[in-house]
Amino acid sequence: MGRRVFNRLVVEISLIVRHCVSRRALWTYLHEIGVDPGQMNTQDAAGFCGPPLRRFLVAQGIRLEPSELHKLERQLRAINPYRPEPYDRFDALERVA
C-alpha cells in the first residue's frame, strides 16, 4: 500500500500545481526527511503536510496561494489507499473487457 500512497501524493500535488511534479525529487525529498516512500501510510502523508510540504514546493519553485495550499493539505490528509480511485476503477473495467 505504501507505493499507492506515494503515487496519490504525486497525483494530488501535480493536480494542484497544474503540472507534473518530479517523482524522483519527491522520492528523494521524502527519504531526506526520514520517510520511506515505498512504505508510506496515511499517517506519513498527513505528516508531510505543513512545513515539509511547503519546503518541497519552494525547492521545486512552486508558490501556491494559501487557499490552494489548504486544499492540497486537505487532499493529502484524506488519502486512503484502501479506497479505489477513479483510475483503479477504469483499470479494473479494462481488465474485465
CB contact set of 72 (below 8 Å; sequence gap of 6+): 12, 13, 16, 53, 64
Domain ranges, ordered by start, for the chain: 2-96
Q: Higher model confidence: residue 1 or residue 54?
A: 54
pLDDT tens for each residue of 3-45 = 889 999 999 999 999 999 999 999 999 999 999 999 999 999 9
d(CA 64, CA 82): 29
The model's pTM: 0.84
Which of left, alpha, beta for 52 (phi over 0: left; psi -120 to 50: alpha)? Answer: alpha
> Cell for 45?
502523508
pLDDT for the residue numbered 81: 84
The residue whose grid cell reads 502523508 is 45
pLDDT tens for each residue of 59-84 = 999 999 999 999 999 999 999 888 77
pLDDT for the residue numbered 32: 97
